[in-house]
């Protein structure tokens, strides 16, 4: 039986980034890719990311989190999801500062006076083989990549950064002037990105304000992507086009991103909202198993 059958879940969102949270600390059972995809179906609890909280595996942390995209793949980081988890469990754990371990490392979450959380997303990575890219670029502030005709590309020369996930940021004058649903999948799966990539369109309004839209790896067009907001803010500061603290406007709302100078850590601050809670029906996973069997027949 699925690890999630008859299991409680909470549906939340971080400025429109749809998040499902499940507490697996008692069971410890792994969630399969098929289970993650089943949850994302219309008769389940559709989401951008599924955050599964497990018992700590490193001393000094409050838990280990596995992050799933709605296509069943695993993500290394999800800033909006981390705020949702911190908001949900801070009261239960009885702490305003929490430390979680993820696939990409240790993340600290701190409650602010207004009830929002700031997530320390750690240091960005810029080396081509850390992002990773399929070929070497000594300067990742702008790489040779374009889509469209060679003499008149539609999008070109993105900045690339890793914030636990690979990100490519294309600088544009109007983020709504491009069909991101069309170009997003092509760029996400471009041979340049051996682990696929999150694709962002970004418009720098001023030195402290950026407007952006993101096609999220493994999730598609999203109203918000916290790690993409971090990557975009860092990329803009690397180009000397913004300061190190910026207001990020996404389709779902706003985040404040600070690329802290003293240690190069990226801090993301924003709200998280509770939507509803429920229990996963076993039939949801039985149907997914039958469909998988038919597909393999």
78 is catalytic: yes
Nearest alpha carbon to residue 66 among 24, 117, 111: 24
109 is catalytic: no
Integer Cα distance of 48 and 156 in angstroms: 27
Which among 78, 84, 109, 230 is annotated as catalytic? 78
Integer Cα distance of 144 and 170 in angstroms: 12
Phi, psi of 75 (to 5 degrees): -110, 155
Integer Cα distance of 38 and 1 in angstroms: 13
Integer Cα distance of 278 and 28 in angstroms: 20
Contact 122, 164 (CB under 8 A): yes
Chain centre distance of CA 257: 14
Integer Cα distance of 212 and 67 in angstroms: 23
The residue assigned the tokens 């280990």 is: 64
Number of Cβ atoms within 10 Å of the Cβ of 248:
25
Q: CA triplet 131, 78, 143: central angle to 5 degrees?
A: 25
CA torsion 240→243→248→249, rounded to 10°? -80
* Active-site residue set: 78, 225
């Amino acid at each position: 039986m699925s690890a999630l059958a008859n299991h409680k879940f909470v549906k939340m969102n971080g400025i429109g980034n749809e998040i499902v949270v499940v507490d697996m600390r008692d069971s410890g059972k792994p969630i399969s890719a098929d289970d993650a995809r089943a949850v994302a179906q219309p008769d389940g609890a559709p989401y951008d990311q599924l955050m599964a909280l497990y018992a700590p595996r490193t001393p000094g942390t409050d838990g280990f989190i596995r992050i799933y995209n709605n296509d069943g793949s695993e993500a290394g980081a999800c800033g909006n999801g981390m705020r949702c988890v911190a908001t949900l469990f801070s009261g239960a754990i009885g702490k305003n500062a929490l430390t979680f371990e993820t696939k990409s490392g240790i993340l600290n979450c701190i409650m602010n006076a207004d009830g929002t959380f700031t997530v320390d997303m750690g240091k960005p990575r810029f080396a081509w083989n850390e992002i990773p890219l399929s070929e070497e670029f000594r300067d990742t502030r702008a790489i040779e990549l374009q889509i469209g005709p060679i003499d008149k590309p539609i999008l070109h020369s993105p900045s690339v950064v890793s914030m636990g996930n690979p990100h490519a940021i294309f600088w544009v004058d109007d983020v709504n002037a491009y069909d991101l649903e069309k170009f997003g999948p092509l760029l996400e799966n471009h041979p340049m990105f051996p682990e696929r990539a999150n694709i962002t369109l970004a418009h720098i309004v001023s030195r402290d304000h950026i407007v952006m839209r993101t096609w999220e790896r493994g999730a598609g067009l999203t109203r918000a992507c916290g790690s993409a907001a971090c990557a975009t803010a860092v990329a803009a500061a690397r180009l000397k086009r913004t300061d190190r603290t910026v207001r990020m406007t996404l389709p779902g709302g706003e985040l404040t991103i600070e690329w802290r100078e003293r240690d190069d850590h990226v801090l993301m601050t924003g709200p998280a909202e509770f939507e509803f809670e429920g229990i996963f029906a076993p039939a949801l996973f039985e149907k997914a198993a039958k469909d998988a069997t038919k597909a393999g027949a």
